[in-house]
Amino acid sequence: MNPQGVANALVRYLEGEIECVSVDDRLVCDTGLYYPDGDSVTVYVTDHGGVFEVTDYSTGTSVAVERLNKRSSTLLRVGEDICSGLGLIFKSGRISANVGDEGLADAVWRVATASLQLADAVGYEVAKPERVRKDFTEEVARELTGRGVDVERGHRIIGASGHEHRPSLYVATHHLVVEPVAADSMWHRATAVYAEFGDLMHTNGYGRIALIDDRGDAVKDDAQNLLQQVSRLVYWKHRTRWLDQVSG
């Protein structure tokens, strides 16, 4: 299989799927992605003196609210977490980014992706607050530091797209990015980690570990299938071998 040939085919495919037209003072970008209700994911770009605002005008939130039949505080937390993982702004349900010319294409795709994730967030309604993910991350960090592993928080990494990532945990001695995936918000976390690792896998030298909390509820196949495309999967119940390798 020729990787470059596949990449070129994807570029040709996207050229036929994405359409951008000028309407009034905005550029309207139909991305070829589709919300659960069948409407296409559309992103709007406005030029403010060389700084481009890219936004979905709260469409992702509106679709999710309509499917839930209410405005959910959990949904808003999910929106904040999705946007945080993709380096976007989430305010009052609106997803946006402010970028220069070089980052415009990347921002359009990230806003569209975040808007689609949020629109499909009905399954997150029963998820516990973001504190659950943070608690699991703390647990992983304590386990690593207890074994003498130097763990960094918020380490700055530039992905292949040029987007800046700040992983949950970074082990400098092994050039290893570790993203804990808590059971209570597994699909939501999996999509955010997938976006991050998908960008990092095209850079040189970074290992990528998705550490799944497999205690309690059964691990969902869809989350595992998504993550194994971009990372090595490690399960909390069977972490000893991996921890021995990192701390050795």
Q: Where in the chain is the domain with CATH 3.30.1460?
A: 3-124
| 131-247, CATH topology level | Trna Endonuclease; Chain: A, domain 1 (3.40.1350)
Write down the pTM of the prediction: 0.52
Q: How many helices (H) and strands (E) does the chain have?
A: 8, 13
* pLDDT tens-digit map of 163-179: 778 889 999 999 999 99
Phi-psi label, residue 213: left if phi above 0, alpha if psi -120 to 50, beta otherwise: beta
Closest to 178 (Cα-Cα) out of 128, 130, 131, 233? 233
* pLDDT tens-digit map of 190-238: 877 888 888 888 887 789 999 999 887 667 788 888 898 889 999 999 8
For residue 176, give the DSSP letter. Answer: E
Class of domain 3-124 as given by CATH? alpha beta
Q: Where in the chain is the domain with CATH 3.40.1350.10?
A: 131-247
Question: Of 29-38, 97-106, 215-224, which one has max mean pLDDT?
Answer: 97-106
What is the Cα–Cα distance from 84 to 90, expressed in whole angstroms? Answer: 8
| Buried b / exposed e along 126-138 (16+ C-beta atoms within 10 A) | ebeebebbeebbe
